[in-house]
Amino acid sequence: MHSIFWRLIFFISLSLSFLNGGGGVLDVDWSTIDKSQQKPSAPYPDVLTIGIKEVHLPVYLTKSYAYDENMVVVADENFYSISFELEGASLLFEGDKTFQESVDPTNPEFQKIVKQSPPVEYIGAEGMMTAEFTKHGVNYAITIECEDPKKDKRCSETDLIKSLYNGLAMVGGRP
Amino acid sequence: MRYFLLIVSLLLLTACSQKTEYNGKDFAYYPAGVLKPEKSGKGRVGDKYIYAPGIRFPIESAPAYINSQVYGVGGYLGPKGSLCDQKNYQYPWRDNYCEKRGWKMPLCTGGKGHQGVDIRTATCEKKKYYAVAVEKGIITSIGKYTVKLRGKSGRTYRYLHLDSRTLQVRKGQKVKRGQRIGLVSNNMGKTPTSIHLHFDMKQTIKVGTRSKSVFVPPYSSLVDAYKRLLQGRP
């Protein structure tokens, strides 16, 4: 009887130890930055350069949107969120270098999630189309949200989100 | 030692139980991960971890009801009837995180499922009840039917289906915990949904030297927050 209890205690302790709690800031691997991408063909608009002035992670935007002065930038040193209003849709670029939970690397569930996670994933959910990806150790996302999610192919097919991802350029951010 | 073993046994019994738990006058809820049986998918049974400790409940006032929009009365795959049926507006709560959906969700059994939970307000009336900020933070984006709040913790909370015309916040606005964001409605652009708040929480989990941003289970955090709301200390 005693041994069963001890096994239970061991099992529970092990389970709880997987989620260590406690957040922090991820290390950005600046050595993997493609420096050739950093030189813009023309100066970016003030709304962008001023908006991301304090951001301490690489900022990525699809090239064709980097000069759109109608963007809204919300940012601090650890994250950025840049949004655009399109015809019948909104477009959002995000990057964040914080983490909220630290998990024991031996945790089989999270080990599997991280290992099986491809460099970029395209997910259509709740009427939105999202590209989630990791670069330089940081997590990024591009999201398209449509006014008519059932009929608008921008939110039901992956063509646009893929082209947005493939057109990404680093437009700022500093160590 | 005896007490410790007793607590352990109780924890195990609770985790495995399908029975509701009670708190307060009449509030009752099924444990986290126990979805509507039969066909609605597999939840994270036993995962009672509070991923967002101390958050405020996202609806300004009680009562509110967490249950399935799809498998509830009047839902797309639920019993026939009105979405406003009284059965949808009563306790016990039932988790619907990981409920069957067609999209990828790494924390769900089978790798697919609902990214958050659906919450009904006190009555089946749109534009009457406010959704509020669950923690101090900043509104990072407002989409066609989504408001995103980045909390001071770095966690991102999404509020879906609020009435766009009566939003109380703008992009880039700093908000206090409990501050009104907007009125719960059925807004999903040109294809309205049922009257409810879809609420989800996304956070980055660090595993060794790597990390992954995932939608984490909100149910236990919300049960905890709701108990505090009922006790008058939201």
Higher-pLDDT residue of A15 and B146 is B146
A11 inside domain: no
Structural domains in chain A (count): 1
Give helix B2-16 / helix A2-18 axis angle, nearest 10°: 70
Query: pLDDT tens, B34-63?
Result: 998 768 999 999 999 999 999 999 999 999
* Phi, psi for B149 (deg, rounded to 5): -115, 125
Q: Which domain holds residue A81?
A: 21-172
A8 touches B: beta carbon within 8 Å: yes
Cα of A109 to nearest chain B Cα, Å: 8
Cα of B26 to nearest chain A Cα, Å: 31
**What stretches in chain B show pLDDT beneath 70?**
1-25, 38
Is the CB of B207 less than 8 angstroms away from the CB of A100? no
A10 inside domain: no
What pLDDT is stored for residue A17 in this prediction?
44
What pLDDT is stored for residue A34 in this prediction?
80
A42 inside domain: yes
Is the CB of A74 less than 8 angstroms away from the CB of B171? yes
Compute the distance between CA of residue B175 and CA of residue B158 in angstroms, rounded to an integer: 14
A116 inside domain: yes
Is the CB of A126 less than 8 angstroms away from the CB of B143? no
A106 touches B: beta carbon within 8 Å: no
A7 inside domain: no
A90 inside domain: yes
Query: pLDDT tens, A98-148?
Result: 999 998 888 888 888 988 889 999 999 999 999 999 999 999 999 999 999
A8 inside domain: no
This prediction's pTM: 0.90
Task: Indicate the SS3 state at residue A109.
Answer: helix
Q: Which domains does chain B have, with CATH numbers?
A: 18-230 (2.70.70.10)
Is the CB of B206 less than 8 angstroms away from the CB of A99? yes
> 């092990």: which residue's tokens?
A14
Compute the distance between CA of residue B213 and CA of residue A139 in angstroms, rounded to an integer: 7
A15 inside domain: no
Q: Which residues of B touch A99 (CB under 8 A)?
A: 154, 203-206, 211
Does residue A171 carry a pLDDT above 80? yes
What is the average pLDDT across A68-80? 97
Compute the distance between CA of residue A83 and CA of residue A89 in angstroms, rounded to an integer: 11
What pLDDT is stored for residue B54 in this prediction?
97
Cα of B25 to nearest chain A Cα, Å: 31
**Contact, A137 vs A28, CB < 8 A?**
yes
Q: Which of B138, B190, B206 is nearest residue A101 as measured by Cβ atoms?
A: B206
